[in-house]
Amino acid sequence: MNQRLAAGAFLLAISMAVVGAATTAFNIPDDADTVAIGSEVVSVQPVGAARAQVPLRSGFLDSQASEVDESTFPVAVRIAGIGLEAPVLSVGVDERNDFDVPAADTVGWYKYSSTPGSAGTTVLAAHVDYAGREGAFFNLEDVAVGDVLEVEMADGSIMTYQVTESILYDKTELPAEDLFRKDGDSTLQLITCGGDFDPAERSYRGNLVVTAEPLDA
Amino acid sequence: MNTQDEMADNSLSGPNWGGFEQLRLSDDTNAVNVTIGSSERWDKAHLRRLRQSADLPGLVPVIDSDFASDGKPFAVTPVVDSETLADRIPPSGSEWEDCAAITEAAARASHEAHLRGLFHGALSPDQVHVLDNDVAVSGIGLGLGGTPSEDYAHWVAPEVRDGGDPTERSDVYSLGKILEASLGNAIEDVPRSVRRLIMWSSSDTPEARPPSALEFASILAEAMGEDRATYSPAFIPTADTNDLASTAPEAVAAFTPGEGSGSSSLGTGAAIAGAGAAAIGAAAIASSLGDDDDAVDAVADAVVDDPDLEVDPDVLADAVDTGELPAEAVVDADPDVDAELEVDEPADIEAAAVATTELGTETADLSADLEDADTSVFDSQEYSDELAGTAADPDYDVPAAAQTVDLDQPFEPERRGNRAGILVGAIMAATLGVVLWGLLNSGDDSTDTADPAPTETTVPAEDEDDSGAAAGTDGGTATDEGNADDEVAGPGAEEEEPSTTTEAPTTTVAEDEAPEDEAPVEDEAPEEEVEPAPPAATVDGPITAEDAGIQVLHGIPGAEVDVYVNGQALAPGFTAGTIAGPANLDPGDYDIELFAASDTPPVSSADRSDDPVISQTVTVGADPATLVAHLDANGNPTLSAFAEDFEPLDPGTARVQLRHLAAAPGVQAIIDGEPADGLLEPGREAVLTLSAGEHTIETTTADGTPVKSATLTLADGEVAAVSVIGSAADDNIAVVVQRYTGLSTAPAAVPTGNSNLLADGEDPTALYILGIMTSLMAIAGGVLMLRRSRQVL
């Protein structure tokens, strides 16, 4: 969000409110002007001395719902094009603050990313290989733009996605802030390793990122 | 923490840790264990979870898991006759470093199982298999529905001993005990953070332990440093045992539990392992062999031939002499002790199996004796004392459930500043409170007042406090507050920061000068009669840190006030517990007047006929802050301002700014059952870094009387300002929470490959299999033998 633009719009709205309020002192019009600043909605009410109202909210805990709805957690991913069907586990980070990618042929859902279908990115990562074995995303590089894949949630519902891009990044250039985005369009990110292998580090130098968008959004 | 007492005090009813029977199937070259599970608890989902763990490195795999034709659930696991961690305990010299590294690997393997809903319940050193540089844990998921054997009580979390299901945190308890044993007498030499980890993990309260095995491993890894020994998860191949496993259903269906099932299979293993002898093999094999002298010899040979099995003849002989260890269990275990061992009924080897069964009832005593003799476990009593001393140490810091807590860091809250600098003087009347901010459009100032909030590079205005908070830490981990805009701060450094700091409010609220010069900007004095100010709008949902601006919190329960800023009324309806804002306010001074609530508060304070209860000037800085009207320690209304700490958070963490704004003496904060150091004085805040997730925050008085408790579910990257408001005397203490989002950072990396399989066709798996095969024990006898076995998992 462009802050300056928002601020400008806000000021304009306030100015209009002030003008409009000149003859309607002390009344709260039903059509109070509203402008958006970032994700915030500020109601601007032309009142008496042209005061702009500031929102109020209750700070008591019982007024704040913060239930975690586990039924929306992803539990499986299917990519027919590469014959993949793998269970999905909820994972966080390890002590290096790295994605705690689960071992072997299981896919990890970054539990601090969005649930499928909600705003922001849903991030799934899996090994391309692990301790000498193929990981769940061994064939992820064969997924092509346009391919369709499915994510199943704990409640049995299924989200269908279509791949929009597949990009191999150098690990030092991974656009992490975009991949792990908590707002904006609902997007699925599938991440694994790729590119050259660094024998000294026992690690690939790149991350393969497959991005997909909901089909029936 | 007293190991001996634990062993002695446990009166467990269950005969067998897992509550399961176990069969041994073997052929020429392979052997598998078949665990028969709890019919009540091993449902389809559990069997599926067990099967799904089959391919996990670091676990002794479940080859198959199903229901037999008679409905009994079972799981087949390979017999891994490798060295175990128990064989290395107690360590001598620097061996403890390896033992600690093995424990770390066991913790990481356990974490993988936990992720899949499988828990152990009685993890112990003899179930941590060491195959060269690889580690595999056995028994995970097999204990569900069982009752732990008292012989394993030392390793079992109290809630599981009491009949609870194993959980992530109960396994963390076991890992803590294993780590303790892994250190042996080196306990004095290890980093303090390792000792704290043991203490933390050994808490009787599950919630007070590290939240996960990964967390346990992470702390241990960090304490041991980059150069520590590391062990990899072992792959135990199962291909060769598939045929054997396929016979399991039939064997299970044919199996009839014997009346001797009151014994403890695990207990046997524990006692024998505790004796420092590898009679495990002997006992197991004895129970699977036939009834003749040759079988006795076979047992002996098998034991003697295995270089990993080291029998201490004296220990065994003594145990037999005192009747603690049936002679049959150690028949010919070592040629050197032949003469000392009288085998009463050598012809009846079946007795050996029975004897090992009976052994289960005696193992507790044996273990205790062995400990007295200092032949195995290190002196746990002494260590317990030390831990107790540590707990009483005033430097004891807050483990909390914090992802970033470093147990090695003494927690030394910085108490700086003088409340007088921040609070406005005391006031009168019990009504009151509150505050406010400048009107968004104070006349022609409006162009300025609508400046956007600081963007994502927000730097909280509390640099001084940060540096103070970091004082007293070691390892060069002082808070790097200058790097607020670093995208992802170095994880290592971040994690070593003290997680709790006590900060004084930062924004200043100056003593009032009457606001006469500052006539309300909006001077269109109402021509009409003074009219009531309108109610304010409400807003739901969290606020992004970016938009936080200046907020006002009404923290005086029961008080009704009208608030004026620069002479302009803030909307009434602003009651206790309500937060007004955010507003983007120009930095500067604002005149604030508080009046006792009026039914028809005039819009301008100039029209009030009564005198303000409080008249103060508040200085607002450029950074997000909250102004709070609250009661001071003596119950007088006052005004404080707190800067919000909007430093970016490490991935998976959240921050709590706990503010004591109630008319009550200093409070003890208790996070997830773990007390923070020192008292939080009135008017102050403590800043805690916690893992994202649910946390319980309690406050008590110094003598432990509960003040208020709240349970919060914190999101990744969330900051929650938790204010305790009200008055203890009036019994209206309450908790008010302001939540801010948007401070999360992405994981530092996504490590998703380590084997270079993309590049070539070579299959490194072969190496793993080769390494493990050499460790697998070949069991004598060409016939498929089925016999009840009392074998350590």
Q: What is the pLDDT of residues A139-158, one digit of tens each?
A: 999 999 999 999 999 999 99
> Residues B482-506: pLDDT tens digits?
333 333 333 333 333 333 444 444 3
The pLDDT of residue A140: 95
Rounded to an integer, the average pLDDT of B261-271 is 30
Q: 3-state SS of B59-78?
A: ECCCCEEEECCCCCEEEEEE
CA of B537: which chain A residue's CA is closest?
A55
Closest CA to B285 of B328, B247, B318: B328
Which residue would you say has higher pLDDT here, B237 or B78? Answer: B78
Predicted complex ipTM: 0.74
Q: Residue B588, Cβ neighbours under 10 Å: how many?
A: 15
Q: What is the pLDDT of residues B568-587, one digit of tens each?
A: 776 555 678 888 777 766 78
A38 Cβ under 8 Å from any chain B Cβ: yes
Q: Hey, is the C-beta of B522 within 8 angstroms of any chain A C-beta?
A: yes
Q: What is the pLDDT of residue A123?
A: 97
Of B544, B553, B603, the CB nearest to A49: B603
Chain B residues with CB under 8 Å of A197 CB are 753, 756, 758-759
SS3 content of chain A, % helix, strand, coil (to 5): 20, 40, 40
Tell me the pLDDT band of B365, cut-offs 50, 70 and 90: very low
Question: In this complex, do B756 and A199 lie within 8 Å of one another by their Cβ atoms?
Answer: yes
Tens of pLDDT, residues A80-93:
999 999 999 999 99
Residue A64 near chain B (CB below 8 Å): yes
Q: Residue A58's closest CA among B642, B439, B555, B664?
A: B555
- How much is the pLDDT for A76? 95
User: Rounded to an integer, what distance in angstroms lies between the CA atom of residue A99 and that of residue A109?
Assistant: 9
Q: Are B595 and B612 in contact (CB under 8 A)?
A: yes
Q: How confident is the model at residue A65 (pLDDT cuts 50, 70, 90)?
A: low
pLDDT winner (highest mean) among A182-196, B148-162, B488-502, B607-621: A182-196
Q: Which residue has better confidence, A52 or B216? A: B216
Tokens standing for A67?
Answer: 């239930």
Contact A15/B446, CB-based, under 8 Å?
yes
* B79 has pLDDT over 70: yes
Q: Do A56 and B537 touch (CB under 8 A)?
A: yes
Option in A26, A52, A103 nearest B440 (CB): A52
At B300, the pLDDT band (50, 70, 90 cuts) reads: very low
B 437-466 residues inside an 8 A Cβ radius of A: 437, 439-441, 446-447, 450-453, 455
Residues of chain B found within 8 Å of residue A59, distances taken between Cβ atoms:
553, 577-579, 723, 736-738
Q: Tell me which chain B residues have a C-beta less than 8 angstroms from the C-beta of A104.
A: 55-57
CB contact under 8 A, B717 and A182: yes
- Would you call A92 an interface residue with chain B, using a CB distance cutoff of 8 Å? yes
Q: How far apart are the CA of B694 and the nearest CA of chain A, in angstroms?
A: 10
Is B578 in Cβ contact with A59 (below 8 Å)?
Answer: yes
Query: Which residue is listed with tokens 């807050």?
Result: B398
Which residue does chain A place closest to B445, by CA atoms? Answer: A11
Cβ contacts below 8 Å, chain A against chain B, sum to: 303
Contact A156/B at CB under 8 A = no
- pLDDT band for position A138 (cuts 50, 70, 90): very high
Q: What is the pLDDT of residue A205?
A: 92
The overall average pLDDT reported for chain B is 64
Predicted local distance difference test score (pLDDT) of residue A62: 66
For residue B257, the model assigns a pLDDT of 62
With cut-offs at 50, 70 and 90, classify the pLDDT of residue A206: very high
Q: Read off the pLDDT band of B350 (50, 70, 90).
A: very low
Q: Is A180 on the interface with B (CB under 8 A)?
A: yes
Q: Give the predicted TM-score (pTM) of the model.
A: 0.53
Q: Which of residues 122-141 of A touch B (CB under 8 A)?
A: 125-135, 137-138, 141
Q: Say yes or no for a CB contact (<8 Å) between A59 and B736.
A: yes
Structure tokens at B165: 């299901």
Rounded-to-integer distance, Cα B670 and Cα B530, Å: 50
CA separation, residue B160 to residues B12, B114, B156, B533 (Å):
11, 16, 7, 61
Averaged pLDDT for residues B373-402: 31
Higher confidence at residue A65 or residue B422?
A65
Give B526's contacts in chain A (Cβ within 8 Å): 25-26, 48-49
Separation in Å, CA of A217 to nearest CA in chain B:
24
What's the pLDDT score for residue B650?
93
The pLDDT tens digits of the residues spanning B734-793 come to 899 998 888 999 999 999 888 888 875 444 444 334 333 433 433 333 333 333 333 333
Q: Which chain A residues touch B450 with a CB distance below 8 Å?
A: 7, 10-11, 14
Contact B726, B662 (CB under 8 A): yes
- pLDDT recorded at residue B157: 92
Look at residues B340, B529, B344, B574 and name the one whose alpha carbon lies nearest to residue B437.
B574
Q: Is the omega angle on the peptide bond into residue B90 within 30 degrees of 0, that is, cis?
A: yes
Which tens digit of pLDDT belongs to each residue from B42-77?
A: 888 888 888 877 778 899 988 888 998 888 899 998
In the predicted structure, residue B377 carries a pLDDT above the cut 50: no
Contact B580 A37 (CB under 8 A): no
Q: Nearest-CA residue of chain B relative to A2?
A: B452
For the CA atoms of chain B, what is the radius of gyration?
Answer: 33
The pLDDT of residue B654: 94
* Min Cα–Cα distance to chain B from A26, Å: 7
Give the range with max mean pLDDT: B286-295, B421-430, B460-469, B562-571.
B562-571
- Chain-chain contact of B651 with A202 (C-beta, under 8 angstroms): no
Q: Specify the higher pLDDT residue, B543 or A194.
A: A194
Nearest CB neighbour to B716, from listed A53, A104, A112: A112
The confidence score (pLDDT) of residue B757 equals 84
Whole-number mean pLDDT of chain A? Answer: 76
For the CA atoms of B203, B477, B625, B589, the dihedral, rounded to the nearest 10 degrees, stands at 140
- Is residue B205 predicted with pLDDT exceeding 90? no
Residue A1, Cβ density class (10 Å: 0-12 exposed, 13-18 middle, ≥19 buried): middle
pLDDT in tens, B715-741: 999 999 999 999 888 888 989 999 888
Contact (CB, 8 A) for B549 and B644: no
Name which of B112, B218, B522 is nearest A102 (Cβ-Cβ): B112
Say whether pLDDT at B533 is over 70. no
- CA angle (B170, B173, B176) in 5-degree steps: 155
Question: Does residue A41 sit at the B interface (CB-CB below 8 Å)?
Answer: yes
**What residues contact B642, with CB distance under 8 A and at least 6 apart?**
B505, B506, B507, B625, B626, B628, B657, B659, B685, B721
Q: What is the DSSP letter of A99?
A: B
Residues of A in contact with B451 (CB under 8 A): 7
Buried b (16+ CB within 10 A) or exposed e, A156-182: eeebebebeebeebebeebebeebbbb
Contact by Cβ (8 Å): B441, A18 = yes
Chain B residues closer than 8 Å to A7 by CB: 450-452
Is A112 part of the contact surface with chain B (CB cutoff 8 Å)? yes
**pLDDT score of B463:** 33
Task: Provide the 10 A C-beta neighbour count for residue B600.
Answer: 11
Q: Strand, coil or helix: what is B520?
A: coil
CB contact under 8 A, A132 and B759: no
Q: How far apart are CA B569 and CA B564, in angstroms?
A: 4
The minimum CA-CA distance between B447 and chain A, rounded to whole Å, is 7
Please list every residue in chain A whose beta carbon sits closer than 8 Å to the beta carbon of residue B536.
53-56
- Looking at residue B11, what is its pLDDT? 23
Nearest CA among B252, B321, B308 for reference residue B280? B308
Of B440, B578, B755, the CB nearest to A56: B578
